[in-house]
Structures are given as structure tokens and as C-alpha cells.
Amino acid sequence: MYKFREAKRIQQSMLAEIEKKTLIWLAERMPAWVNPDHLTGLGLLGMLGAGVSYIAARWHTYGLLGVIAGLILNWFGDSLDGTLARVRNRPRPRYGFYIDHVVDAFSALFLLVGLSLSGYMDPRIAVGLLIAYFMISIEVYLATYTLGTFQISFYKFSPTELRILLAIGNLYLLYRPVVHFLGSEWRLFDIGGIGGIFGMVGIFLISCLKNGRTLYLREPLTE
């Protein structure tokens, strides 16, 4: 029978310590009838709601507040499910890893499809963000399998910090959806989206080089 070895989690984001304490506090007070699968589903519904709210924001700016509510719900479910399993000493590492990241893929799709239809971002930029996200995801999953380390954060940023930045951006959109940059008017989220694409592609390339070198040195050619 295949012996599964759980990967070491690497979480070094700015809010990692306070988030961990908060999640444990919440998990210890969660009703007994709530299980990790319920929270995973709740997180997915939160991101679906965020995507639908972006579409609604095309006709009414208050949809942007719905996006923030969806992000909060997503954080609650997506971040707490694994903590709840560990606090109750009922972990299912293979099932949890698989389901969580299938759900993450759908969550990213829901969010960026909604954003592409919101009128606040060029659909081509939204597609570029989705592609960049999937590229990083693939690299992370390959590194998890080959190196035994699961990289949750990059350069002090994790999904939690990104949710907060997106929520702040949504609040800013309520008052100033268009900004002046390099002598031209730009949609705020177009600039943010282009920056996000370059940032994620850069992280992807750096990670590929770093992990490729590590694996090359671990498995030298023998004559």
C-alpha cells in the first residue's frame, strides 16, 4: 500500500501568527455538528457569491460590498476547515489537500469570471490573472510532491493578505474606479491586474529556477 507523507507547510506571511491563533480560537468554539467539509463548502459559496456580486456591481456599485462579504465568508471557510480537523485530531491529509485545491481552482474561476464581467477590469486581464494563478498553483503542487514542502506564502503574502488587498481595492472602487497613470486614464483594477500578472509570473519563474536547482542537486548524475 502506498505510504503517504504529509508535506511540510511553509506559511511565513505577515499575518500568519495572528491568523493561526484566531483560527484555533474559532475552531475550539465551533459547534460539534460543523465539520471541515461544511466549512470547505462555505468557502466555495463565499467565492461564488463574490463573483456574482462583481457581476451585479456592473449595474450597482453596492455589489462591490457584496464582494467583500463573499471574501470574508471565503476566508472563514477556506482557512478554518483544516484547522478544525487538526484541533479535533481528525485530519485527512490526502483528502483535505485534494478537495481544498480543487475548490481553490473553482473559487479562482468564479471570482475572475465575475470580475471580467463587472466592467471594472478588462476581460483579457482577468483571463491573464487566471492563467498566472493556475501556473503558480501547478508549480506549488509539483513542488509539494517532489520536495515535500507545501508553499502557502510568497514574500510575506498569502491568500489572506491578497483577500485583504482586494477588499481594500473594492472600497476604493466605490469612490474612484478610474485613475490617472502615465498621462492617461486607466481603470484602477486594470493597473492592479497587470501588476498582479507580472508579479505572479515573476514568482512562478523564480520558484521554477529555485526548485529545479534544488532537485538537480539532490539527484546528481552518477557514472
For the chain, the domains span: 8-218
Measure the CA dihedral 68/162/128/53, to 10°.
Answer: -10
User: How is domain 8-218 classified at the architecture level of CATH?
Assistant: Up-down Bundle (1.20)
Of 77-86, 110-119, 153-162, which gets the smallest average pLDDT?
A: 153-162
CB count within 10 Å of CB 69 equals: 14
Residue pLDDT, tens place only, 124-145: 999 999 999 999 999 998 988 8
* Structure confidence at residue 146 as a pLDDT band (50, 70, 90): confident
- Rounded average pLDDT over 177-205: 87
- Rounded average pLDDT over 102-127: 94
- Rounded average pLDDT over 170-192: 85
Look up cell 467565492; give the residue.
47
Whole-number pLDDT of residue 185: 83
**Given a cut of 70, is residue 87 above it in pLDDT?**
yes
* Structure confidence at residue 9 as a pLDDT band (50, 70, 90): confident
Question: Which residues lie closer than 8 Å to 58 by C-beta, 6 or more apart?
Answer: 117, 118, 119
Contacts from 216-222 at CB under 8 Å and sequence distance 24+?
A: none
Percent over 70 (pLDDT), the chain: 97
Residue pLDDT, tens place only, 212-223: 999 888 888 775
* Structure confidence at residue 3 as a pLDDT band (50, 70, 90): low
**Given a cut of 70, is residue 55 above it in pLDDT?**
yes
Percent over 90 (pLDDT), the chain: 57
What are the counts of helices (DSSP H) followed by strands (DSSP E) for the chain? 7, 4
